[in-house]
Amino acid sequence: MRLGLSLPVFTADARRSVDVARRAAAAGYHGMFAPDHLFPPGRPDRPSLDALSLLAAVAAAVPGIPVGTLVTRAGVRPVGILAKQLAGLAHVAGGSVIAGLGMGDAHARDEHAALGIPFLPIDERAGVLEETALALGALFGGRPWSGGVHVPPVTGPLLPPATGSVWLGGRGDRVVRAAGRSAAGWNGWALDAQGFSDRAANVREAAAEAGRDPERLTLSWGGIVLVGRDPAELAVLETERASRGMSMDVWRGTADDLRGFADRLERAEASWLICVPAGPPDRLELVARTLREG
């Protein structure tokens, strides 16, 4: 299973995020990802780096390593523009790009208002998401997108051509089943091992029902991880996090627990574990070392 890092974007210091990517590459991470937000959820007074710009800087600083969004919301950018931006990112990265797409939840409503983009009802957002995945898949493959109910035609072509893989990220049934029907991969964020396994089975089932090969799908887990070397250190880290008023709805455990969790994800056929290491800065290296030695 490959190890990915979700880069820090809720900052005004892009150089810090690029430095984190360099450290992660040196520690053995296999890919760099970034969420795409106008501002941190619920905090319009705080900055957030543009995901595509940051990933381009990371790709230039750490050449040859896969990069991708996790996730960018479908419908925020016109599909043709998004395809061209992602293709450009693939060129900078020297290979391919992972286009992780989401449809947004209630927290995204304020961002849409700030951007001047309508926040559509959930059924419409789900339709935009699936058609965006199909459109990007066609454009990356050198084919035009003929248009759908929600996403208008895009003739392309993308020149120079680029290689991209489209994942859908989300835990709800709409996204899970859409990933099986229309995407190359699926990401389940902040799920426990059983929840991931159950939804992964649903993704594969939807793929088979659509006449696609479930074995060709890339399944990935993502989430914040708080890791202690042992139970005593973990307890200290949990107390510190709680005292700062930060969410405790994150994966928490010792290094041994993390190895066991990764094993359970692998049994559910996950091929990526993509994390946000919480706690002290050295957790980035601790996570990599733990899974490398596991």
Domain residue limits, the chain: 2-293
What sign results for the dihedral spanned by CA atoms 80, 65, 102, 264? Answer: positive
Mean pLDDT for 276-286 is 97
Task: Kindly give the pairing relationship between strand 272-277 and strand 163-169.
Answer: unpaired
Mind listing the pLDDT tens digit for each residue in 170-227? 999 999 999 999 999 999 999 999 999 999 999 999 999 999 999 999 999 999 999 9
Instruction: Determine the 3-state secondary structure of 142 from DSSP.
Output: coil
In angstroms, rounded to a whole number, what is the distance separating the alpha carbons of residues 55 and 40? 18
The one-letter amino acid code at 222 reads: G
DSSP code, position 269:
T
* Start-end of H helices in the chain: 14-27, 51-61, 79-93, 109-115, 122-140, 173-182, 193-209, 231-243, 255-267, 283-293
pLDDT band at 293; cut points 50, 70, 90 = confident
pLDDT band at 294; cut points 50, 70, 90 = low
> Under a CB-based contact definition with an 8 Å cutoff, are residues 217 and 201 in contact?
no
Report the interhelical angle of 122-140 vs 173-182 (nearest 10°): 20
> What pLDDT is attached to residue 107?
87
Residue 106 has pLDDT above 90, yes or no: no
Mean pLDDT for 70-84 is 97
Both tokens of 271, joined, read: 């091929």
Q: What's the mean per-residue pLDDT of the chain?
A: 96
Question: CB under 8 Å to 176, separation ≥6 — which residues?
Answer: 170, 186, 199, 202, 203, 206
> What pLDDT is attached to residue 95?
83
Q: What is the dotted CATH code of the domain comprising 2-293?
A: 3.20.20.30
Residue 125 has pLDDT above 80, yes or no: yes
Mean pLDDT for 59-77 is 96
The one-letter amino acid code at 182 reads: S
Mind listing the pLDDT tens digit for each residue in 2-42? 999 999 999 999 999 999 999 999 999 999 999 999 999 99
The fraction of the chain above a pLDDT of 90, given in percent, is: 96
Pick the closest to residue 200 from 184, 179, 228, 182 (CA basis): 179
> What pLDDT is attached to residue 174?
97
Q: Which residues are bridge partners to 166 per DSSP?
A: 99
The fraction of the chain above a pLDDT of 70, given in percent, is: 100
